[in-house]
Amino acid sequence: MRLIVDHVTRYSYDQPVRGVVQSHRLTPTVFEGQTVVDWQVTVTDGCPGGVFRDGAGDRVQAWSVAGPVSEIVVHVKGVVETRDLTGVLRGHREIVRPEVYLRETTPTWADAALIELSSAADDASGPLDAAHRLSGAVADAIAYAPGTTEAHTTAAEALAQGKGVCQDHAHALIAMARHRGIPARYVSGYLFADAEGQPHEAAHAWAELWIVGLGWVGFDPANRCCPDERYIRLGSGLDALDAAPIRGIARGPGSETMNVRVVVAPEATQGQTQQ
Amino acid sequence: MADYFNEMYHSGAVRTPYARLEDWMKTMPAEFRQMKQAEAEALFRRIGITFAVYGEGGDPDRLIPFDMFPRVFTGAEWARLERGIKQRARALNAFLVDVYGRGEIVKAGRIPANLVYQNEAYEKAVVGFVPPKGVYSHIVGIDLVRTGPDDFFVLEDNCRTPSGVSYMLENREIMMRMFPELFRANRIQPVDSYSDRLRRTLASVAPAKCKGDPCIVILTPGHFNSAYYEHSFLADLMGVELVEGQDLFVEGEYVWMRTTEGPKRVDVIYRRIDDAFIDPLCFRPDSMLGVPGLMDVYRSGGVSICSAPGAGVADDKAVYTYVPEMVRFYLGEEPILQNVPTWQCAKADDLKYVLERLPELVVKEVHGSGGYGMLVGPKSTREQIEAFRAKIEKDPDNYIAQPTLALSTTPTFVAEGIAPRHVDLRPYCLVGEQIDLVPGGLTRVALTEGSLVVNSSQGGGVKDTWVLAE
C-alpha cells in the first residue's frame, strides 16, 4: 500500500521565546514492512543539528531555532510503500538487547489490577498466543475514549477508569508483558484507517513484544490487530515519552500551545483528517 | 586491636615509611599540637572546604575533621597499587565499551545479562556509541582497604563522578604550610600535578570535530550542591570555566557557552551532574539543571561528556563482584587487586549463608552509599541484627554481604594523644588517551575508637597521603 503522510505540528507561544531545541524521531523505520518513497521534515527557521541512528535503529535528528520566536511549525510530508508482515518487524537493524525492555517505567508500572489482568495469558499455548491474549485483554478492559486521559496518565490509572486512547492501551500491554518477563516496548507511528472502521488516531501508537523465534512483533490493542500495511512505524522506546516523535523545550517564560494535524491517506484517494 | 594491621608499628618495630615520623610524633609538645590543629581547622574554614564526599549526604556546611598525622606508603607499595588501579580502570572501561556494543562478556556467560541490561544505570540512549578514545569513565575513584603488609582489597569502584580529590590536594597544601620540615626530611612525591593531568586527560578525549585547543568546562548543578566547592576549585586550578546548565545552550550541531564576547563553542564537558539530569530531552523531562539537546550533540560527535552517560553500570555494587572477571576477560591478566568476597542475597545459597552468619558480616544495600542502611555485624546489638534480618528477608535482592574486614590502622591524633584508627584510601585514576595516576589519594579515617566506618557522615575524617620516592 502506498501511503501519503501530511503531519503538521504547530507550537505557538503567548510571548516570544529565546529559542527552541527539539529532538525528532520522525523518519520511518527501515525494515521489510515499509520503504520510503519520499520523506521530508521541515522546521520553520530551524537549524538542523546532529543526526544519527540510535541503538534501537531509530533515526534521530536534532533541531534548534534561534529566538525570539512566537511560532514554530514542524511539517512532515512523505510517501511510504508498506507491506503487511502480520506485525513482525522483519529486517530491522538494531543492537539494543531485548532484556533492556524489561525495565519498568512510571507509566508502565504493573499494579495489582494489571497483574491480575495479565493472568489472561496463564493458559496460553505459547508465547505468541500469550501475547495475543494479553493484547485482547487490554482491548476488553480499556475502552477507546478520546479525551479521558492525558499525556501523563499511567497504565494503572487508565485501567482503573476503564477508558483511554492508544497510548494507554500500549502502556497497559507493555506493563503486563514485562510483568510476565516478556520484553515489550512502545512504538510511535501513523495509521491509515478507512471510514468504516472504529474511530482511530492517524498519529498512532502500539506495542511491540519480543517473541522468541520471531523477534519483535507489533500488537495494537486499540484496533485488536497486529500492524499491517495501514501502519507506518517511526520509532520505539520504553514508554510514550521515550518513544516520542518530537521532544522539545523552549527557553523563555512564554507558555506553549500545541496544535497537531495529521493526514494519512492512500495515494490518489481522499484522506482523513484529524485535529 | 591486636588483630589489625598497624601501618606504622608492625611486629614490634616501626615500619620504614614511618621511620622519620616517630621522632616528630614523640617530640611534639601537646600545646604545639593543639595550636597546629586549630591552625589547620582555621585554614580549612578560610578556604571554605566543607563538603561531603560523593553520595555521603550529611550537613554540607560541616567541616570534615582533618587529622595531621599523615598516612604513608613506600614507593614499592605504591608501584604495585598503581599497577592494580590502572589495570582495574582499563578493565572497567573495556567493560563499558563492550556492554554498549556487542556485549561479548554477556554472550560468553561471564556476567548475567539481567545485571547489565536491566540495570537502572544502563543507558539505552548510548547503545552503539563509542565515546572518543573508547573511554566512558575518565576519572575512576577506586576505594581500597588494607588488611596486611601486602593485602589490599577493593571495596568499591566509582566510575561516574567520584569526589574528594580537592581534599587530597588541600590536605597536602595545608601539611606543607604547617610542617615544612617534614617535607624536607621525607622524600614525598608531589600530587599537585593532578589538575594539569586532569586537564590533559579531558583535552585528549575532545571530539574528532574539534580542531585545535579544546574548550573544556566543568558543569555543576550549582552552589547548593555539597561538592560545589570542589567544582569551583578544580575549575580554578585547570583554568577552565565553571558553568551551570543555563550557561550552555545547543545550537545546530554544537554546544555553546554564553560569554561576554558572545557564544563560545564547548568541546569537552566535565559534568558533575547525574545522567538523569543532564538533558531533559533525553532523560528526566523536568530537569532544570542540564542542557536541552545535549545528548543529540553528544551522540552525533559534537561534544564529549566526562564521565560518559551510562558509565554508572560499571560501578553498581552487584556488578562489582564481576570486576575481577572483567580483568581476565578483556585484558587476559590476573587481577592485581582483589575484591572483597561478596555474597549476593539475591542468590538463594548466598542468602542462606548470610542469614546464618549475620553477627560476623557487613551487610549493605545494593544501591546504598555513605555508610547508611548497612549492618556491621560484630559492632551491632542482637536487636539491631534481628531488625536487619527482617529487612533482608523482606527484600533479599536489595542486599549484599561481605566479611567484616580487619581494616588497617594508622596513628591518629585523638583527644588523649595518639592512637591507631582505621583507614581506607581513594586514589583517582585518570583515563584518556593515556592512563595516569598521581601518587596519592584521599585517606579517610574512622575517628571513633574501634569504628570501621570511615564515611564523613559517620564520624570520619581525612588525612594527607604520602607516597615516598624510592
pLDDT digits (tens, 9 = 90+) for A69-119: 999 999 999 999 999 999 999 999 999 999 999 999 999 999 999 999 999
Residue B28 one-letter amino acid: M
Whether residues B76 and B145 fall in one domain: yes
With a pLDDT cut of 90, the percent of chain B lying above it is 75
> Which pLDDT does position B372 carry in this prediction?
66
CA angle A161–A163–A167, rounded 5-degree value: 115
The Cα–Cα gap between B388 and B358 comes to 9
> Which pLDDT does position B60 carry in this prediction?
52
Nearest-neighbour CA in chain B from A241: distance (Å): 9
Check pLDDT > 70 for residue A201: no
CATH number of the domain bearing residue B381: 3.30.1490.270
Per-residue pLDDT averaged across B440-447, rounded? 95
How is residue A75 written as a grid cell? Answer: 511539517
Answer whether residue B372 is part of any domain. yes
Check pLDDT > 70 for residue B49: no
Question: CA nearest A46 in B: which residue?
Answer: B252
Nearest-neighbour CA in chain A from B99: distance (Å): 10
Whether residues B312 and B375 fall in one domain: no
- Among B350, B469, B376, B403, which residue's Cα sits nearest to residue B147? B403
Per-residue pLDDT averaged across A169-194, rounded? 96
Answer whether residue A36 is part of any domain. yes
How is residue B436 written as a grid cell? Answer: 595516569
SS3 B70: strand
Nearest-neighbour CA in chain A from B311: distance (Å): 16
The residue assigned the cell 563492550 is B98
Check pLDDT > 90 for residue A196: no
Residue A80 one-letter amino acid: V
Whether residues A76 and A38 fall in one domain: yes
| Interface touch A95/B293, C-beta < 8 Å | no
Answer whether residue A240 is part of any domain. no
Q: What is the tally of structural domains in chain B?
A: 2
Per-residue pLDDT averaged across B123-139, rounded? 97
The Cα–Cα gap between B308 and B298 comes to 9
Q: Tell me the per-residue pLDDT of A46-60, one tens digit each, with 9 for 90 and over.
A: 999 999 999 999 999
> Which pLDDT does position B85 carry in this prediction?
98
How is residue A60 written as a grid cell? Answer: 534521530
> Which pLDDT does position A113 carry in this prediction?
97
CA angle B85–B87–B90, rounded 5-degree value: 110
| A62, A66, A99 ranked by CB distance to B296: nearest | A62
Whether residues A54 and A165 fall in one domain: no
Task: Record the pTM.
Answer: 0.93
Whether residues A137 and A225 fall in one domain: yes
- Among B308, B434, B458, B297, which residue's Cα sits nearest to residue B371? B458
Question: CA nearest B127 in A: which residue?
Answer: A55
Q: Please, which residues have CB within 8 angstroms of residue B410's CB and are 6 or more apart in sequence?
A: B6, B7, B8, B69, B71, B72, B420, B421, B423, B443, B445, B463
Bridge partners of residue A188, in order along the sequence: A205, A235
> Which pLDDT does position B43 carry in this prediction?
86
Q: Tell me the per-residue pLDDT of B227-237, one tens digit each, with 9 for 90 and over.
A: 888 999 999 99
Whether residues B171 and B112 fall in one domain: yes
Whether residues B411 and B361 fall in one domain: no
> Which pLDDT does position A161 carry in this prediction?
96
Q: Among A76-85, A127-136, B220-229, which is the least confidently predicted range?
A: B220-229
Answer whether residue B69 is part of any domain. yes
Check pLDDT > 50 for residue A23: yes
Q: Quick one: pLDDT band at residue B368, thresholds 50, 70, 90?
A: low
| Interface touch A50/B120, C-beta < 8 Å | no
- Among B181, B158, B163, B200, which residue's Cα sits nearest to residue B60? B163
Answer whether residue B397 is part of any domain. yes
Check pLDDT > 90 for residue B417: no
Is the separation of the CB atoms in B294 and B126 below 8 Å? no
> Which pLDDT does position A267 carry in this prediction?
85
Q: Quick one: pLDDT band at residue B448, thresholds 50, 70, 90?
A: confident
Whether residues B388 and B450 fall in one domain: no
SS3 of B207-258: the string is CCCCCCCCCEEEECCCCCCCCHHHHHHHHHHHCCEEECHHHEEEECCEEEEC
Answer whether residue B228 is part of any domain. yes
The Cα–Cα gap between B345 and B397 comes to 6
Whether residues B305 and B203 fall in one domain: yes
Answer whether residue A118 is part of any domain. yes
Whether residues B208 and B319 fall in one domain: yes
- With 0-12 / 13-18 / 19 or more C-beta atoms within 10 angstroms meaning exposed / middle / buried, residue B225 is middle
Whether residues A17 and A146 fall in one domain: no
CATH number of the domain bearing residue A22: 2.60.40.2250
Q: Among B99, B119, B250, pick the best mutation site for testing chain A contact (most A Cβ within 10 A).
A: B250
Answer whether residue B1 is part of any domain. no
Residue A186 structural domain: 86-229
Strand B216-219 to strand B268-271: parallel, antiparallel, or no bridges (unpaired)? Answer: parallel
Q: Is B314 left (phi over 0), alpha (psi -120 to 50) or beta?
A: alpha
With a pLDDT cut of 70, the percent of chain B lying above it is 95
Answer whether residue B365 is part of any domain. yes
Rounded alpha-carbon distances, angstroms, from residue B184 to B20, B179, B188:
11, 9, 9
| B124, B282, B299 ranked by CB distance to A50: nearest | B299
> Which pLDDT does position B62 carry in this prediction?
63
Whether residues B144 and B289 fall in one domain: yes
Check pLDDT > 70 for residue B247: yes
Alpha helices in B118-239 (DSSP H): 165-178, 180-185, 194-204, 228-238
Answer whether residue B220 is part of any domain. yes
Is the separation of the CB atoms in A8 and A245 below 8 Å? no
Is the separation of the CB atoms in B378 and B451 below 8 Å? no
Whether residues A90 and A63 fall in one domain: no
Q: Quick one: pLDDT band at residue A250, thresholds 50, 70, 90?
A: very high
Check pLDDT > 50 for residue B1: no
CATH number of the domain bearing residue A134: 3.10.620.30
Answer whether residue A256 is part of any domain. yes
> What is the interface pTM, i.e. ipTM, of the complex?
0.93
Q: Tell me the per-residue pLDDT of A221-236, one tens digit each, with 9 for 90 and over.
A: 999 999 999 999 999 9
Whether residues A224 and A95 fall in one domain: yes
> Which pLDDT does position B54 carry in this prediction?
44
Is the separation of the CB atoms in A101 and A189 below 8 Å? no
Residues of B in contact with A62 (CB under 8 A): 250, 253, 293, 296-297, 300
Per-residue pLDDT averaged across A176-196, rounded? 91
Bridge partners of residue A247, in order along the sequence: A23
The Cα–Cα gap between A56 and A36 comes to 19
How is residue B245 written as a grid cell? Answer: 546548565
Check pLDDT > 70 for residue A127: yes
Q: Cis peptide leading into A253, omega within 30 of 0?
A: no
Residue B383 structural domain: 341-403
How is residue A240 written as a grid cell? Answer: 510514550
DSSP symbol at B420: E
> Which pLDDT does position A195 carry in this prediction?
56
First to last CA, chain B: 31
Q: Quick one: pLDDT band at residue B55, thresholds 50, 70, 90?
A: very low
The Cα–Cα gap between B165 and B142 comes to 12
Whether residues B331 and B375 fall in one domain: no
Whether residues B137 and B206 fall in one domain: yes
Find the radius of gyration of the CA atoms of chain B.
22
- Among B325, B277, B278, which residue's Cα sits nearest to residue B298? B278
Where among B357, B377, B403 does a domain terminate?
B403
Answer whether residue A236 is part of any domain. no
Check pLDDT > 80 for residue A200: no
The Cα–Cα gap between B84 and B327 comes to 10
Residues of A in contact with B293 (CB under 8 A): 21-23, 49, 62, 64, 249
The residue ranking higher by pLDDT, A179 or B404, is A179
Q: Quick one: pLDDT band at residue A275, thresholds 50, 70, 90?
A: very low
Check pLDDT > 90 for residue B197: yes
Check pLDDT > 60 for residue A159: yes
**Residue B296 dihedral angles phi and psi, to the nearest 5°:** -65, -40
